[in-house]
Amino acid sequence: MANILILGGGFGGLMMAEQLSDLFGNSGHRITLVSPKDKFTFYPALVRLAFGDCSEENISIDLPEKLNDLNVRFVQGEVIKLNQNLKQVQIAGEDFNGEISYDYLVIAMGRRLATEKIGGFFEHAHHLLGSKAALKFGEAVESFKKGHIVVGLSPQAFLPVPVCETAFALAKKFEREIEKEKISVSVIFPETIETAFGGADLHEKLEKAFAFHHIEVITDFAVKEVTEKAIVSAEGQKIKYDLLMLLPPFRGQAMIGKQGFTDELDFVEVDDFLRVVNLENAYAVGDIASFTGPKLAFTAIRQAQVAAENIATELRGGTPTKLYQHDISLIIDEGGDDAIFLNYGVLDNTLYGLKTGKMWSRMKNEHNQLWHVVRNG
């Protein structure tokens, strides 16, 4: 009988719990998931939340209840230390404080927002990478009457989808004001749009859609600092704003950094089977895993499927055989554009070019299916 410990209750952790529960059933292996929060939030819907198209309740599920159905033990707490030699993790939580031992470890702790890398971010910028932040940004949008709105991606903020969605949602909301030139919207990328999407073949359609909605696109602007009135690039160029939504740089979790298995940004290095490099009996999935390109729920799910299958093989005494192939442009182009949920729901009738025919309905279905899988298993 083995103890399998999953760290994190987001897309990667929850999908891992589902996969392992499916694979092991009542085999006697013990699966435990640790997360600081007792809720799972469906992040792809945060732009909708900000724009009042859904409520917090609509986009979150109760983790203990869900895990109980899967026969997975839930421990509410935060991982504060990993002891590689003892195969133990130290947890700090209200209900549980202490060590949990493991035979197999799955690291799925997502990304950290490195807001400290952009001077003035905390004081002046909005983001929408959590429910509270999304609602706060939504309030600022609601009371905005006149001026320039800047929506941007910082360097190493590996998530272009909500930036594009936010720009289009603003264009829809302020359509008349934009026509009358009372309000303008700019979207900013640190390099090209193509680079932001990991080389996927979306940029031409996106560029057309931005132009159609009178959204100004500024590329190769690496934000370094935010002042009360402007964003400043590494080269000292300035762009003035009246309302700013900026995604900060991403990092892995510092508490597992510098232990010999993370890269320079604290993301966990894995091999082709998603085994953590230099850490025995451990796998990593989701945003925390060190891969190039945008970080997506879609990839977290694919990785959880691969890692679960490989753990099952190991528990049967075999050697992992299931390979993970991370070709982000292939995932987005093939998956196809469904792999990112650009434009579901928020922008009915607006996002010209991306909204046609089969692709549009596939995209919506994909979102619905993903939510269905998460909620109902």
Residues that bind ligand FAD (CB under 6 A): 7-13, 34-37, 43-44, 46-47, 78-79, 108-110, 128-129, 159, 161-162, 253, 286-288, 295-298, 300, 340-341
The answer to whether 247 touches 270, Cβ cutoff 8 Å, is no
Q: Which residue lies nearer to ligand FAD by CB, 29 or 127? A: 127
At closest approach, how far in Å is the CB of 92 from ligand FAD? 9
Provide, rounded to whole angstroms, the least separation between the CB of residue 62 and ligand FAD: 13
- How far, CA to CA in Å, does 24 sit from each of 2, 10, 66, 301? 11, 21, 17, 18
Q: Which is nearer to ligand FAD, 232 or 244 (CB)?
A: 244
Q: Which is nearer to ligand FAD, 215 or 256 (CB)?
A: 256
Nearer to ligand FAD, 190 or 286 (CB): 286
CB closer to ligand FAD out of 194 and 337: 337
**Alpha carbons 207 and 220: distance in angstroms, whole number:** 15
Strand pairing category for 88-92 and 243-247? unpaired
For 142, other C-beta atoms within 10 Å of its C-beta total 11
Q: Which residue is nearest to ligand FAD (CB)?
A: 10
User: Nearest Cα to 82, choosing from 5, 3, 16, 2?
Assistant: 5
Residue closer to ligand FAD by CB (options 8, 155) is 8
Residue 175 Cα distances to 49, 232, 361, angstroms: 20, 28, 24
- Give 307: exposed, middle or buried? Use CB within 10 Å, 0-12, 13-18, 19+: buried
- The set of residues, in sequence order, having a beta carbon less than 8 Å from that of 263 and lying 6+ positions away, is 252, 269, 290
Which alpha helices (H) appear in 218-356, and where do they start and end?
A: 297-315, 328-335
Q: How far is the CB of 80 from ligand FAD (least distance, A)?
A: 7
Q: Which is nearer to ligand FAD, 185 or 232 (CB)?
A: 185
Cβ 303 to ligand FAD, closest distance in Å? 8
When the beta carbons of 226 and 328 are compared against ligand FAD, the nearer one is: 328
CB-nearer residue toward ligand FAD: 273 or 341: 341
- Smallest gap from Cβ 28 to ligand FAD, in A, equals 25
In DSSP notation, 188-235 reads: E-SS-HHHHTTT-TTHHHHHHHHHHTTEEEE-S--EEEE-SSEEEETT
Task: Provide the minimum distance between the beta carbon of 12 and ligand FAD in the complex, in angstroms, as a whole number.
Answer: 3
At closest approach, how far in Å is the CB of 49 from ligand FAD? 9
Residue carrying the six token digits 């932040």: 133
What is the closest distance, in whole angstroms, from the C-beta atom of residue 159 to ligand FAD in the complex? 6
In angstroms, give the least distance from the CB of 180 to ligand FAD. 30
User: Smallest Cα–Cα separation from 348: which of 98, 85, 25, 53?
Assistant: 53
R_g of the chain computed on alpha carbons: 21
Number of C-alpha atoms within 13 angstroms, CB side, residue 161?
A: 24
Identify any residues that bridge with 98 across adjacent strands, giving them in sequence order: 91
